[in-house]
Amino acid sequence: MRREELYIGGEWVRPHGEGEIQVINPTTEEIIGSVPVGNSDDINHAVSKARSAFESWSMSPIEDRIKILNDLSTALKELTEELAQTITAEVGTPIGYSRMAMVGTPRVVSRSYAKMLEGFEWEHEIRNSLIVKEPIGVCAFITPWNFPLHQIIGKVAPAIAAGCTMVLKPSKEAPLNAFLLADILHDIGLPPGVFNLVSGHGSEVGEILSSHPDIDMVSFTGSTSAGVRVSQAAASTVKRVTLELGGKSANVILDDADVIRAAKSAIGACYQNSGQTCSALTRLIIPKDHEDEIIEIVSSRVNGYTPGDPLNENTRCGPMVSEKQQQSVLSYITSGIDEGAKLIAGGEGMPEECDKGFFVRPTAFSNVTPEMKIWKEEIFGPVLVITTYDTEEEALELANDSIYGLSGGVWGTNERAIQFAKKMRTGQVSVNGGQFNVSAPFGGYKQSGNGRELGIDGLQEFLEIKAIQRPIE
């Protein structure tokens, strides 16, 4: 799985940068591949090719874009197993979840934009003005490791639909799937220069892309601190920046909810992708009167959530993506213990079942208070924190007690739960376990970012709006 070239201008080319980035399997701790390190010359080459391709691609027939998106969806379906196996090897995601979420969701997203184009309104009139929507230009995409292909397709598909060209810098922890995507886009006939791939370090490639004068837009997904740096780098050229950043999302069980169902659901909502999910519902807020019942359910289910080999079809919790991430999660578990939270499941150290790999024990704390580090900060691992409330007003205050606002959940009778959801300061809310919808906008309030991905709102991010005034007759 060693890749030695970058994809620029429709060709695999030797990089100007030196060295390679090794990709480590977090389950086995073995090197499974490598990608080249790009530099400023590679970025300039890729941006130049994207700029040259923009003139023709921005004017391409809508039917051509629809075909590319449908062909991409078909190719992703045909290569599901190869892509899923690759992502599981890079990230440690349990293989069943890789097939469904890591590859299946991008396939559906690609198809959704093809369908959207069939009826999209590019022009409309307001009095004597013709309002025209046009592609924004050359886009830079900086993507994360936790849902690597999904986050890439969530940017690439609407950009293709809009008529934009692009340069992608994938995560250095999980870049191999991006190289497979480049192969796919080449094989289905995406015109040269529309999609370009430059791997490398964020401190160099990401910074250069963000500040590059010929980049019209940057779309970044990652940590809030890195998103701030992207915004600062982009500010000098006043380019559009969309950010999908961190989260510390609340899951609220109202006192009229189906408590047993809600408590059981809380584990999966927190631990999906081994807890390495920005929209994970990591803060469980429960009524004081049901505390004992809910904690008993949570603790028993967490203790049965055995981590292990992600290639085992029955595994639900794999390793952390890297040793660095493993140590970070373990430090938060230690912090929770030191600050006086009550450990009800899991804890410090490696799981007994694992003798290697970057594993942590699925963990849950009760008696967590808002001043604790584990309440305030994004842990990005399988750690659930629980607190109680006496009144609905207090529950809402606790739910909104975060610098983040990416996701959320609420359980209760439908109308009451929906009214509560409307008061939560967050970009999306699941009511009574409502499922993720790829046609709905995804993005955050507050320090969880700005802009939206997916659905019609995700397409609009890649468009400029022009008003053409005509004489009034």
Catalogue the active-site residues: 244, 278
Tell me the CA distances in angstroms from 112 to 59, 158, 244, one per residue in order.
Answer: 21, 10, 20
- Which SS3 state, helix, strand or coil, does residue 2 take? strand
CA 66-178-91 angle, to 5 degrees, is: 125
Rounded to whole angstroms, how far apart are CA atoms 439 and 456? 7
Q: Any residues with CB less than 8 A from the CB of 7 and at least 6 apart, and which?
A: 13, 179, 182, 186, 195, 196, 197
DSSP 8-34: ETTEEE--SS--EEEEE-TTT--EEEE
Return the DSSP state at 145: S
**Terminal C-alpha separation, the chain:** 65
Rounded to whole angstroms, how far apart are CA atoms 65 and 168? 19
290, 255 Cβ separation under 8 angstroms:
yes
The phi and psi torsions of 19 (rounded to 5 degrees) equal: 95, 180
Which strand (E) or helix (H) includes residue 386? strand 383-389
Identify the residue whose tokens are 């309440």: 375
Q: Any residues with CB less than 8 A from the CB of 15 and at least 6 apart, and which?
A: 5, 6, 36, 37, 38, 39, 42
Q: Any residues with CB less than 8 A from the CB of 1 and at least 6 apart, and which?
A: 23, 32, 33, 34, 86, 176
Residue type, 64: D
Rounded to whole angstroms, how far apart are CA atoms 424 and 410? 10
Rounded to whole angstroms, how far apart are CA atoms 362 and 272? 11
Rounded to whole angstroms, how far apart are CA atoms 282 and 279? 9
Rounded to whole angstroms, how far apart are CA atoms 351 and 308? 9
Rounded to whole angstroms, how far apart are CA atoms 272 and 247? 14
192, 60 Cβ separation under 8 angstroms:
no
